[in-house]
Amino acid sequence: MSQYQNKRKYKKQKAKEKARKLKAKRRGMAIKAENREQKAIEKLKWLHREKIKPIKKEKKDEQSN
């Protein structure tokens, strides 16, 4: 019951706490969205990377025989 000794102070405290949590949630969601975008970009870069194609060697031994 000690929390309700000063109702105005308690309400103010709860409002600040709620605002803090909301701000943290928004920040977290923004960071997650940015990370998703970065991951998508990296995936596209990986899919469209320049691939080195192996060169087949000509068999000179068979031609000389």
4 within 8 A of 10, measured Cβ to Cβ:
yes
Give the pLDDT mean for 32-46: 97
What are the residue ranges spanned by the domains of the chain?
Answer: 7-47
Using CA atoms, how far residue 61 sits from 2, 11, 56, 57, 58, in Å, is 96, 90, 15, 11, 9
**Residue 56: what pLDDT?**
84
Give the pLDDT mean for 32-54: 94
54 — pLDDT class (breaks 50, 70, 90) = confident
| Residue at 55: amino acid letter | I
Task: Look up residue 54 and give its two tokens.
Answer: 């192996």
Q: Which of the two residues, 59 and 42, has the higher pLDDT score? A: 42
